[in-house]
A and B are shown apart, each in its own frame.
Chain A
Amino acid sequence: MTRFESAFTKGPALVAFITAGDGDTAANLDALVAGGADVIELGMPFTDPMADGPAIQKANLRSLAKGTTTADIFAQAAAFRQRHPDTPLVLMGYANPMTVRGSEWFAAECAKAGVDGVICVDIPSEEDAELGPALRAAGVDLIRLATPTTDAARLPDVLNGAGGFLYYVSVAGITGLQQAAQTSIEDAVTRLKAATDLPVAVGFGVRTPEQAAAIAKVADGVVVGSAFVDIIAEHGEQAAPHLEAFTRTLADAIHGAKEIAA
């Protein structure tokens, strides 16, 4: 069983996102795991994060201002894998930093560091050749995004070559701002689950345990990002205990939703 499979078979999972190099990354990652996060998404900072709202944009810039390099991110990932052998780790970011040295190089580094999956915001299925084949050859899952604009005609293409889990971006927009209506999330998850065996995780605009619990009733996972990043923005290098406490409230809500449903 892959790390993703074990993480999602336990019931609805908390997928937690932070930006690499923003604050004390190792301590923050440990705090997310200690608080009960089931899957970790580590954001690769980029100068031009055009799918991100203000919170994650600023996290990208804070990280780059500190001089974070791609080598640093792979070192953080490898160290995470040593400390947490079972928690799935995803790198999330933009195409240019992932492909600048060639997709084979990137895929090999992911495999070497123990990265389980990659989410690339600006490589849709039409441009899969840019990254997908190299990742799959290296045994790293390419996690695809589905959105409210992904219609039935497109969905098979989006799912073709996808692995790990399917990330449902519940609002047409950027990270961290609006929240989708619960009914539209339920409809979408039902539609997606009919089309794939991959677990479906729902994200964008999820900030509170209440929202997370509601989504966890219908989805296999709930992705939270900007709310964690806001805590790091507020507490800087000392964010870990605050992250852990907040993670616990989300994890309890999500994992509890499973028990009620069961």
Chain B
Amino acid sequence: MNNRSNSLRTGPDERGHFGQFGGRYVAETLMPLILDLEREYRAAQADNEFRAEFEHLLKHYVGRPSPLWLAERLTEELGGAKIYLKREDLNHTGAHKINNCIGQILLAKRMGKTKIIAETGAGQHGVATATVAALFGLPCTIFMGAVDVARQQPNVFRMKLLGAEVVAVESGARTLKDAMNEALRHWVANVHDTFYIIGTVAGPHPYPELVRDFQSVIGEEARAQILEAEGRLPDMLIAPVGGGSNAIGLFHPFLDDEGVEIVGVEAAGEGLDGKHAASLAGGKPGILHGNKTYLLQDEDGQITEAHSISAGLDYPGIGPEHSWLHDIGRVRYEPVTDAEALASFQKLTKLEGIIPALESAHAIAAAERIAPTLGKDKIIIVNCSGRGDKDIFTVAEALGVKL
């Protein structure tokens, strides 16, 4: 009992709170559905068949386990701690997002829902959702900010090929938060037959919990893989944080390992005194999209626009469990700018032959900063959360290259 109550892995509480964060701040219309979802998720957790089907799909469809790659040339270049990359970029569809989508579409099926909706920023979650919807033969609508539609054309086309309808959202700043508003508006009018596959560890309870659980396969694998490779746990974990699903997936299985330092990387955009997307460094607690968490906002509580070169990090909030881990000091969150991420994007590509997503490049940049300060006997695992093929147009533009 004592061990369990001292654990950092038992949250959220029964009302969906991580400390003061999380909760269920939704319109009354959605509340009964949210409660249904929670009941169904509890039943699924206790159901071995559900677990078996999830694991079968992860292995044979997603291609898990993803490798843990010792980045020798990067390690040598930085001259400090040994760097391992958790290769989520090698998953089917090219990022960690698919892990969660597999779990949620199985829940949708259990609940008898016949239509799928999702929001997307960079398009990775939209592609992953459209993929599982195709696999299960369910019609799918993806809400995507019009700005993101313009800067992520390859993913838009992928979603359409997969049979999804892509709705370009023209309201607000026309990025991820507006896509989420529009998805919520659609959902509230279609609760009877529609399942909303939320792409990150945000939204009303139980989403932050269930998305984390589905993504925790990342950390569970990494833990076993590093024990096999090195015979011990790592000294540090580093992952990029937008909403924070890849990060919590890597971190969660290690939260109770006191010797493992954990670093989340926020997108500092043009810098913390300019336009950025660092909710912890530059925001304060508030309520948006169903949960209480750190948000970029003004003194009247109006949400301010986020900015990051990485569309997947371009969100003015962060998952509530991250807000809690920040406040209790278990995870340290560091900012990385667009320019730093761009440099690391190129460095990893040249040194390791791995083109990382711009999201992941933020974590690489933090590793570049930290690794040289640590001894060569130290071990860092960096989450390479996605591949960067989708970002080559953005990177080319930022580097002034005409394709």
A sample of 18 cross-chain residue pairs with beta-carbon separation below 8 angstroms, ordered by A number, consists of: A48-B288, A52-B185, A61-B171, A94-B287, A96-B286, A96-B287, A99-B286, A99-B301, A127-B24, A127-B25, A130-B25, A146-B28, A150-B32, A169-B28, A172-B29, A173-B188, A177-B189, A178-B189
Closest to A96 in B: B301
Instruction: State whether A124 touches B26 (Cβ < 8 A).
Output: yes
- Check if B96 is an interface residue, CB within 8 A of chain A: no
Interface residues of B (CB under 8 A from A): 15, 23-33, 171-172, 177-178, 180-181, 184-185, 188-189, 191-192, 286-290, 295, 297, 299-303
B36 and chain A: residue at smallest CB distance:
A149
A195 on the B face (CB < 8 A):
no
- The B interface, classified by DSSP as helix, strand, loop or mixed, is mixed
Question: Do B302 and A46 have beta carbons less than 8 Å apart?
Answer: yes
Contact with B along A84-123 (1 / 0, CB 8 A): 0000000000111111100000000000000000000111
A50 CB contacts on chain B under 8 angstroms: 27, 180-181, 184-185, 289
Which A residues are CB-close (under 8 A) to B184?
50-51
Distance in Å: Cβ of B172 to nearest Cβ of chain A: 7
A69 CA / B289 CA spacing, docked (Å): 22
Does A158 contact B28, Cβ atoms closer than 8 Å? yes
Confirm or deny: A184 has a beta carbon within 8 angstroms of a beta carbon on chain B: no
Chain B hits for A25, CB < 8 A: none
Question: What residues on A are CB-neighbors of B299 within 8 Å?
Answer: 100
Asked if B32 contacts A145 (CB within 8 A), the reply is: no
A126 at the interface (CB under 8 A from B): yes
Q: A50-B289, A95-B287, A100-B297 are in contact. Are A174 and B302 (CB under 8 A)?
A: no
A100/B28 in contact, CB under 8 A: no
B27 x A121 contact (CB < 8 A):
yes
Contact indicator A100/B300 (Cβ below 8 Å): yes
Q: How far is the CA of A150 from the CA of B303 in the complex (A)?
A: 29
Contact status B32-A154, CB under 8 Å: yes
Answer whether A122 and B27 are a contact pair too, CB < 8 Å, given A51-B188, A97-B301, A172-B191: yes
Give chain B residues whose Cβ lies under 8 Å from the Cβ of A123.
Answer: 25, 287
- The answer on a CB contact under 8 Å between A169 and B29 is yes
Q: A50-B289, A122-B27 are in contact. Are A96 and B297 (CB under 8 A)?
A: yes
Please encode chain A, from 42 to 60, with 1 for each CB lying within 8 Å of some chain B CB and 0 for all others: 0000111111110001000
Within the complex, the shortest CB–CB distance from B310 to chain A, in Å, comes to 21
- On whether the beta carbons of A127 and B23 are closer than 8 Å, the reply is yes
Q: A150 to chain B: which residues have CB within 8 Å?
A: 28, 31-32
The 9 A-B residue pairs with the shortest CB-CB distance in the complex, in nearest-first order: A100-B301, A173-B189, A97-B301, A95-B287, A96-B301, A147-B29, A50-B181, A47-B303, A50-B184
Q: Judge whether A64 is part of the interface by a CB distance below 8 angstroms.
A: yes
Q: Does residue A259 face the partner (Cβ distance < 8 Å to B)?
A: no
Asked if residues B32 and A122 are in contact (CB atoms below 8 Å), the reply is: no
Tell me, rounded to whole Å, the shortest Cβ–Cβ distance linking B356 to chain A. Answer: 31
The reply to whether A57 and B171 form a contact with Cβ atoms under 8 Å apart is yes
Residues from chain A with a CB closer than 8 A to the CB of B31 are 124, 126, 149-150, 154
The answer to whether B28 touches A147, judged by C-beta atoms less than 8 angstroms apart, is: yes
Report the Cα distance A126→B297, complex, angstroms: 25
Distance in angstroms from A123 CB to nearest chain B CB is: 6
Given contacts A51-B27, A122-B26, A147-B29, contact A100 B185 (CB under 8 A): no
A238 at the interface (CB under 8 A from B): no
B288 close to A174 (CB less than 8 A): no
In the complex, per-residue mask of A167-195: 1 if CB is within 8 Å of any chain B CB, else 0: 00101111001100000000000000000
The chain B residue sitting closest to A98, CB to CB, is: B301
Q: Can you name 9 extra interface pairs (CB under 8 A) apart from A48-B288, A149-B31?
A: A52-B185, A96-B286, A96-B301, A100-B301, A123-B25, A126-B15, A130-B287, A154-B32, A169-B29
Give, as a whole number of angstroms, the nearest-CB distance from B164 to chain A: 22
| B28 and A48 within 8 A (CB) | no
Whether B191 and A149, one on each chain, are in contact in the complex, defined by CB atoms closer than 8 angstroms, is: yes
Return the chain B residue nearest A46 by Cβ.
B302
A57 to B182 CA separation, bound complex (whole angstroms) = 11
Distance A155 CA – B27 CA, assembled complex (angstroms): 14
Which B residues are CB-close (under 8 A) to A127?
23-25
